[in-house]
Chains A and B, each alone.
Chain A
Amino acid sequence: MLALTYDVGNIWLDALLGLLAIVALMTVSTFMLIWLERKIAARIQMRLGPMRTGPYGLLQTIADALKLIGKEDLRPKTADRWVFELAPFAVFVPTFTAFVAIPFTRDWAIAFLDLGLFYVIAVTGLSFVGFLMAGWASDNKYALLGGMRAAAQLISYEVPMVVTLVAVAMVAGSLNLSEIVLFQGRVPLFVWQPLGFFIFIVAALAELERQPFDIPTAESEVVGGPFIEYSGIRWSMFFLASYTGLMIYSLLGAVVFLGGWEWPLGTEAGLWLQLLLIFFKTSLFIAFFMWVRFSLVRLRIDQLMSYCWKVLIPLAFLQVLLNGFVLVYGWPDGMLLVTSGAGLALAMYIIYRAVDTEPRELRMVPARGGGSSVQPATADATGFE
């Protein structure tokens, strides 16, 4: 991590050290996160979780990784060789490169980019290609379905994500992640923009394909989706990319909405305190994402889509509109809090109404060409209409 504070002089050496720092950070954090996720799952389900390998099962993930590396790298006979083998990289590389722009403390980042926020969004948005490649090349209908679902979900939820981040960038007046942190100063942004914060969390969950949005990889529907035919090292690359994504979105959320490395209420924080703060704030996101994972059930794909397009996107635009009022008419922050809070209440009410709706008759379209129409069952129709 020396490269981050220290001018090494040689630009290539600097880049190499930065790269090594990312790889080390990614690997260590993934190992820790997998262990943590299993422990949290166990806690929520009143189990112990991994206990045998190392103290409190800490070495379990390393044992699992060794097992995965030792596994045979299988490829179905009918799979498309090149696309199948390159797909893990197409998922892995975009999430990997997103680390470059994220500032960990005031002076520590691989690169301080003027367009840092935009860069992270643009780069992470590329990972859908890998899911589609994996789904298509596996020559397996479940994989293809999963890949299609993944791409549709990633593209759809990118819209509310980008719009809320635009709302943040509007008031901060910058796309530079460090400047967004400095702008927040005494009071982090989630206080003033609870609606934007909420939309960010939901969209991040969907972008990460974590429960309740794990529709592309749903075991009971598409048996693992795009990863169905993968094993060994390539499968673990998908896994690694997934946990790196968790890390990226948590860091991004901590930087953009929780004030990054700053101590709230505006005390100057030293380097170690800054590191501790960003670690703590990121952990909050990670813990929340894991908590949600083991508390909520999976949504159906039409619910997922209608929730995105009919609820989240209009609300995200509402947040942009409110921030526009702040900029143009100079509304005080308190006014923003009240209006954005009202928007959040509206979002909560919509969810409540959708959950509370009685199961009602769903109009079923008869299968194409089939003589007998499907009996209209009392399926629980989506309430987001």
Chain B
Amino acid sequence: MTVAQGIFYLIAALAVAGGLGVVLARNTVYAALFLILALLAVAGIYILLASEFLALVQVLIYAGAITVLLLFALMLTRVGDLEETMVGAQWPLAVVASILLVGLLITTIATSDWPGDADGMITRIPFETLGEALFRQWAVPFEIASLVLLIALVGAIVLARDEEGDVEEAE
């Protein structure tokens, strides 16, 4: 086993542990913190795959910005709000469905004919190429995506404002 493999297994174990923590933790704040661990571990895997840019974006946006929303929402609500577990009557069905899904995903990944990198060599793509592709070749879809996000942002603010107005009227 090479050093890189050892590091990979370590990071993968961290990611899996984080993922399990998200699902199994009773306390929702713990779950959110485990989510940060899982996301950071995935960033580590990106570094192993020589995609530093992707790794840093993962750290900055997923671990550093998205989770803050979750934490804000969770920490400002009472921990006891969530009833013990969310295990319902259909849990055996859920288990079967998840196992089937995992099996399907693993067989698909294992049997697919992946182009390019399947020989174990990593092709390093400099982030300049990435930028060129994003802002030259795919500039229009990129702009559309930003516009959609902006509209969502403005929409959320408008909706929140409306509710505030209702409260005032009710009084």
Contacts and interface: CB of A to CB of B under 8 A. Distances in A.
Interface of A: 80, 83, 113-115, 118-119, 121-123, 125-126, 128-129, 132-133, 135-136, 144, 147-148, 151, 155, 175, 365-366, 368-369
A13 B38 CA distance: 28
A118 B75 contact: no
Contact of B168 (A83, A136, A365): A365
Contacts of B49: none
Contacts of B72: 132, 148, 151
Nearest to A120: B56
B141 to A, nearest CB: 21
B127 A115 contact: yes
A126 B59 contact: yes
B71 interface: yes
Contacts of B33: 83, 129, 133
Report the interface size class on chain B: 20 to 34
A365 B127 CA distance: 50
B64 interface: yes
Nearest to A126: B64
A113 B126 CA distance: 13
Given A83-B33, A115-B127, A121-B60, A132 B71 contact: yes
Interface string B125-155: 0110000000000000000000000000000
Nearest to B171: A366
Contacts of B167: 368
Interface in B16-50: 29-30, 33, 36
B12 interface: no
B8 interface: no
A133 B74 CA distance: 12
Contacts of A128: 64, 68
A148 B76 contact: yes
Contact of A136 (B29, B59, B64): B29
Contact of B67 (A80, A114, A129, A144): A129
B65 interface: yes
B56 A119 contact: yes
A125 B36 contact: no
B74 to A, nearest CB: 9
Contact of A115 (B29, B30, B53, B64): B53
B76 to A, nearest CB: 7
The 10 tightest CB contacts between A and B, nearest first, are A122-B60, A125-B64, A122-B59, A122-B56, A136-B75, A132-B71, A118-B56, A126-B64, A115-B52, A151-B68
A80 B68 CA distance: 19
B67 A135 contact: no
A365 B53 CA distance: 46
B39 to A, nearest CB: 10
A113 B52 contact: yes
Contacts of B57: 122
A168 B35 CA distance: 33
Given A128-B68, A366-B171, A115 B75 contact: no
A135 B168 contact: no
A245 to B, nearest CB: 15
B52 A114 contact: yes
A125 B52 contact: no
B63 interface: yes
Contact of B59 (A113, A123, A155, A366): A123
Nearest to B56: A122
A123 B63 CA distance: 10
Contacts of B168: 365
A147 B72 CA distance: 10
Contacts of B64: 122, 125-126, 128
A365 B171 CA distance: 11
Contacts of B56: 115, 118-119, 122
